[in-house]
Amino acid sequence: MPSVDYSPRFLHKTYLERDRENPLRLGVYEAGAVVAPVSGELRVYNAANVLLAQNETSADAGGFALATVDPAQLAAQTLGANWRVEWHLLMPDGLTHVFRAGAALCRVRLPQAASIADLLVWHADLNEYIPPTQTTWQPQGDMAWADILNWIESKGRRPFLVTDSSELRELHEAMWLERVGSALGADGDDTNRWVRLEAKWAGRAEKIRDGLTFEYDENDEGRATPGGRAAANPTLWLCQAGEEW
């Protein structure tokens, strides 16, 4: 049987909490459907490329690969980025495939900032339009949150050092509703309610991102750094040092 080009679905980096049990889950896809692994193991490497965990995987009823990293396997490790996880999975094509993702070790993962209840404050009838392929709007919320985490990372910040997730609520709401509009809209029809909703919330999300600041743990001490706030978008100076405008 020839090798199959499977697609692992990593939405963002893997954030491991040092002092807690870390259940992990990975969907591996072929032709748009989840394919359950036959067997496998999860390997965790720290920033120094030292193998810390080599744990057996299983599969849930939906075919997703499951593994758990115990606190004892992370004890005494230095918090920070540049870790990685590797899923070594024996797939139905008879080959072991390796799926890698970036990771970080943190005190506490940043929880999602908004909920479906927040969306219903803005659009009370949203649940009447859930697509038949899903049961809630949570998949769009998960995608929006993953995009926020990746955006924060792209700006040189670490999401797990943001100390107050509520400061990201408005952005999460806006990006979530943008994706709801995209899921329901008709391309090219600017009179469609959902196309207008997508455009409205996309504009609001951009405005929020441009001015967003949040409490941030600059020194990874477990608390917000006193006396200042972090900006996801750094200030760009267009003049030489000392020059006045």
For the segment 40-68, what is each residue's pLDDT rounded down to a tens digit?
999 999 999 999 999 999 999 999 999 99
Name the strand (E) or helix (H) holding 146.
helix 138-154
Domains defined along the chain, listed by start: 7-106 (2.60.40.1220), 116-231 (no CATH)
Whole-prediction pTM: 0.89
Distance, CA of 68 to CA of 56 (rounded, Å): 8
Residues 101, 149: contact at Cβ < 8 Å? no
Residues 200, 166: contact at Cβ < 8 Å? no
Predicted confidence at residue 66, as pLDDT, reads 98
Distance, CA of 214 to CA of 230 (rounded, Å): 5
Cα angle 63, 15, 135; round to 5: 45
Record the tokens describing residue 119, joined without a space: 């969306």
Question: Which residue reads 């008709």 in tokens?
Answer: 186
Predicted confidence at residue 147, as pLDDT, reads 98
Residues of the chain with pLDDT under 50: 235-239, 241-245
Predicted confidence at residue 228, as pLDDT, reads 61
Cα–Cα distances in angstroms (integers) from residue 218 to residues 157, 160, 192, in the given order: 9, 11, 45
Predicted confidence at residue 3, as pLDDT, reads 83
Instruction: Identify the bridge partners of residue 42 per DSSP, sorted by sequence position.
Output: 55, 87
Distance, CA of 208 to CA of 111 (rounded, Å): 19
Predicted confidence at residue 230, as pLDDT, reads 76
